[in-house]
Amino acid sequence: MIQVAVLSGKGGTGKTVVTGALAEFLPGKKVFADCDVEAANLALILSPRERARIPFFGLKKATIEKKSCVACGLCAHACRFGAIRNGIDGSFYVDPVRCEGCGVCAGVCPERAIVLLKKQDGEIICADTDLGPLVYAELSPGSGNSGLLVHEVKKEAQKEVRDHDLLLIDGPPGIGCPVISTMSGIDTVVIVTEPSIAAMHDLKRLVMVSRGFSLSLCAIINRADLHGGYAQTIERFCADEGISLLGKVPFDPTIQDAVSKGVPVTRFGCPATVAFREIAANLSGILGEKASDRLKGRNE
């Protein structure tokens, strides 16, 4: 099974629309995972039928037991994350959003007034779609640990794989912990970028991070005709870096219409859909070579 993640150095590049189009046009049996856990939108395109919800518990958080606390302030002094606050009544309390669960405060408290407790940070949803199984998540408001949740979403999606050929992941934006968690153990990254200086900057950072995982890299330039000159600059960068350019998608208002109606853009015979079909064929060729290389390696 080949694992592919669609990523972008920043949000708003059209990554989920691209993933939805690849889900439709790539051949073979596919499983999908939405690892953009802070804004999981792939479900809006793939119309899932829920099968199961699994509670997600992130890292433990500190809690101060008021009856034992003597308000000495040692814990607030020791917490490097500034998670222990002093209330207007002089009592100390933990800000759960800042708490990283390191346990230092519990170690320094002379009254043993601090305990570390697990709390539910969200849910992982396993579903079926017309194109294959989909695993995605809902993170509770204010909850962190999204890197850990990405890991759990991938783990659940891998359980769905069985005889499937491809795990296609809609990844998170940026280059932070959730992206690192998405990249671990996969084969290929498809980077969705745009013709702009900001997107180029983010593309370079994402390429640099991907290199650390020795992944094969492909790119798609979305809305390529909005700044043709800059699209050429990105094409040259891809060629210099050995990144396979899968294709360019023109700016197409049909995409926005389709997204607002919750309908896959691939249902329309618009210019973007024509481009997506060609992009999927190019990616399929690259993944086919990868699969046969892997088979050869096993037989040698």
Q: Specify the DSSP element, H or E, that contains 152.
A: helix 146-160
Q: Which of 4, 21, 109, 192 binds ligand SF4 (CB under 6 A)?
A: 109
Closer CB to ligand SF4, 71 or 226, in the complex: 71
- The interface mask with ligand SF4, positions 114-133, x = CB under 6 A, is x-------------------
Cross-strand partners of 192: 220
Q: What is the largest CA-CA distance in the chain?
A: 72
**Count of positions (residues) in the chain:** 300
- Shortest distance, CB of residue 56 to ligand SF4, whole angstroms? 19
Nearest Cα residue to 42 out of 75, 19, 24: 19
Q: Does 220 participate in binding ligand SF4 (rule CB under 6 A)?
A: no
The answer to whether the beta carbons of residues 117 and 63 sit under 8 Å apart is yes
| CB-based contacts of 156, cutoff 8 Å, min separation 6 | 33, 54, 124, 126, 135
- Shortest distance, CB of residue 113 to ligand SF4, whole angstroms? 4
Q: Which of 12, 103, 176, 285 binds ligand SF4 (CB under 6 A)?
A: 103
Burial of 118 (0-12, 13-18, 19+ CB in 10 A): exposed
- Shortest distance, CB of residue 152 to ligand SF4, whole angstroms? 21
Question: By CB under 6 A, what part of segment 45-84 binds ligand SF4?
Answer: 62, 64, 69-75, 79, 81, 83-84
Closer CB to ligand SF4, 22 or 106, in the complex: 106
Question: Which residues in this chain contact ligand SF4 in the complex, by CB under 6 A?
Answer: 62, 64, 69-75, 79, 81, 83-84, 92, 94, 99-105, 109, 111, 113-114
